Amino acid sequence: MNVKTEITLSERHLRLAEKMVEEGAFPSISRLVEAAIEQIDQVTHHDTATDDVVTGMADEIRQRMELPDDQWLPWDGKEVASRVKDRLRQKYAK
């Protein structure tokens, strides 16, 4: 259920909000305010440190998965395993 209310914003914040709506980041100033309140709720009521790290990792993985095939590094499992074994031998041989 939506409830109509009135808020007062500084000119600066109103300009920022209008700009975000114009740029398509939010469909309306009301939705922007709702998103800001949700974000504040998340910060104050959840373990955001863990959430931020996991979200950041997920975002990074998604971005990397969208890379074109020619930007992927070749993967040779045997070669990688061989290099890891060599490093372990060097480390523990000392």
The pTM (predicted TM-score) of the whole model is 0.47
Query: pLDDT digits over 41-70, tens only?
Result: 887 776 555 667 888 889 899 888 888 888
| Res 32: pLDDT | 93
Helix, strand and coil in the chain, % to nearest 5? 70, 0, 30
| Tokens standing for residue 66 | 């969208």
3-state secondary structure 12-44: HHHHHHHHHHHCCCCCCHHHHHHHHHHHHHHHH
At residue 22, does pLDDT exceed 90? yes
